[in-house]
Amino acid sequence: MMSFRNDKLTKMSWPNETLRLVGQIQEFKGKQDLFKQQLPEILEALRDAAVIQSTESSNRLEGIVINTNRLSSIVQKKVQPQNRSESEVAGYRDVLATVHASAEYMNLLPGLILQMDRDLMRYVGTTGGRFKNNDNTITESYPDGTKRIRFVTVPAWQTPSAMDELVIAYRRDRELGSINELILIAAFTLDFLCIHPFSDGNGRMARLLTLLLLYQTGYEVGRYVSLEKVIEETKEQYYETLEQSSVRWHEGEHNLLPWVNYFLVVLLKSYQRFEERVGQTSDLKRQRGWKAKKVQDVIGHMMADFNVNDIQERCPGISRPTIQRMLNELGQENVIECISRGRNARWKKR
């Protein structure tokens, strides 16, 4: 809420770099409907892959890691979670599915955020759906076991009023339309993380709320490309810019620019990845034997060892069995070699 007080966002002078990023993202946004109309099969394949990647990356950012095959089965509701980590994944899966299916009907209110938290923690056994009872801090852990406090969050007793103020301020400024909606979403996310309203799951909730607000303003790239994966790939900048922009947040004297620019870069990278994958696949589909050519091209650009999931991510519209068959054929032709076998087999180029 500190980013919205005293007309802070209105008074800020946004540099050309920020405005350029906003303009580029808006250009990509204009192409979404065209892709929906012309390439529904490709988008469906991208959507399925993005759900798994988003669930995996958002949880992995919080240190929650499970077997890839188990994760896919949980996301597809083929199996029930068997431990705490799998329960965390199942909760994220459910809330992500709700956002994807119902974003336009989800009215941003503190009660909705509490409901999302309840569903996020549903399988864990802890009590979700309520704001924190105890004060918490954002800390950084070191290999030797020591910790450093990165940020002191809003006290527990002030959290309900802080969340009320944040939601009201965001809704007011969006309705007024005087500030670009992408900047508003970035500011909302920063303030949410500085408030840190829950005892657990704040990072995951922030990413789910970001998707919700983006969908409600027409930015749908997160349906087809995992924003969470882009954040995971740039997690050093993620934590660094959050820390930079939270300095003197409690006084309202913080600098939003590092975080806003990082947020915009993540969104732009996601759109660029989206267009690249859609464009490459749609061009190839006009050719005979396009699936084999696509898989071979993707493998040719791999810089390290890889597994089936790595290839499937980059090959929308190509089934997992087809990719597996191509890997076996390329292995027999000595183009690649299998370096570890089993359910999580990995390959590398020769």
Give the pLDDT mean for 148-170: 92
Show Cβ contacts of residue 41 under 8 Å, excluding neighbours closer than 6 positions. Answer: 317
Model pTM score: 0.79
Q: How far apart are CA 299 and CA 73, in angstroms?
A: 25
Show Cβ contacts of residue 145 under 8 Å, excluding neighbours closer than 6 positions. Answer: none
- Band the pLDDT of 40: cuts 50, 70, 90: low
Show Cβ contacts of residue 136 under 8 Å, excluding neighbours closer than 6 positions. Answer: 153, 156, 196, 199
Q: What is residue 346's three-state secondary structure?
A: strand
From its phi and psi, is residue 256 left (phi > 0), alpha (psi between -120 and 50) or beta? alpha
Phi and psi of 51, rounded to 5°?
-60, -45
Class of domain 287-349: mainly alpha
The residue extents of the domains of the chain are 5-281, 287-349
The residue assigned the tokens 């802080």 is: 162
Q: How far apart are CA 278 and CA 258, in angstroms?
A: 30
Give the pLDDT mean for 113-120: 95
5-281 CATH choice from 1.10.3290.10, 1.10.10.10, 2.60.120.260, 3.90.1150.200: 1.10.3290.10
Q: Which among 7, 90, 40, 27 has a CA at the least distance from the CA of 272?
A: 27
For the chain, what's the residue count? 350
Q: What is the pLDDT of residue 274?
A: 87
Q: What is the pLDDT of residue 284?
A: 45
> Is residue 184's pLDDT more than 90?
yes
- Residue-by-residue DSSP string for 68-131: HHHHHHHHTTSS---SHHHHHHHHHHHHHHHHHHHGGG----HHHHHHHHHHHTTTTSS--SS-
Give the pLDDT mean for 69-95: 89
Select the highest-mean-pLDDT range: 36-40, 70-74, 341-345: 70-74
Q: How far apart are CA 76 and CA 146, in angstroms?
A: 38
Q: What is the pLDDT of residue 174?
A: 94
Q: Which among 197, 212, 199 has a CA at the least distance from the CA of 163?
A: 197
Give the pLDDT mean for 311-336: 79
Give the pLDDT mean for 339-346: 79
Helices (H), 234-289: 235-246, 257-284
Between 86-90, 141-145, 258-262, 280-284, the lowest mean confidence (pLDDT) is in: 280-284
The residue assigned the tokens 């040719």 is: 300
Q: What is the pLDDT of residue 279?
A: 66
Measure CA 142 to chain center: 25
The residue assigned the tokens 């959507």 is: 47
Higher pLDDT, 317 or 78: 78
Please provide the average confidence, as pLDDT, over all residues in the chain. Answer: 86
Tell me, what amino acid is at 121?
M
